[in-house]
Amino acid sequence: MYDTVNFNQFNDWFIKDNSNYKDNFSYEGRKALFDYLEELEDDTGEKIEFDPIALCCEYSEYENIQEFWNDYDKEDYPTIDKIEDNTTVIKIQDSNKFIIQSF
């Protein structure tokens, strides 16, 4: 069973008092992730279940590539293009921030 979730509902889940998950994504990150998931639904024709805890496990937001290198090897992933060769990268408009599908 699936419910249709708009961005406000999606955003509200993250900003309500969920101490374990409320800081997983910035506002801009939540918007970029929501837009990406909606586009993915449109492209595949398949509905995506809104499971915010799974999204927090599956996707990670980074302030910049330097922060990314704290989790992944700089020599293997020196650029965003190299990261994109290995996973989904959701760039956050007007910033150096990006979200990856964890791999």
Confidence (pLDDT) at 17: 62
63-66: long-range pairs with CB below 8 Å, 24+: 63/96, 63/97, 64/96, 64/97, 65/96
The string of pLDDT tens digits covering residues 16-73 is 866 678 889 999 999 999 999 999 999 999 999 899 999 999 999 999 999 999 999 9
4-13, 53-62, 71-80: the lowest-pLDDT one: 4-13
C-alpha distances out from residue 56 to 10, 13, 39, 65, 78, Å: 13, 12, 19, 19, 25
Residue 83's Cβ-count burial label (10 Å; 0-12, 13-18, 19+) is buried
Confidence (pLDDT) at 1: 52
**How is residue 101 written in tokens?**
């599908």
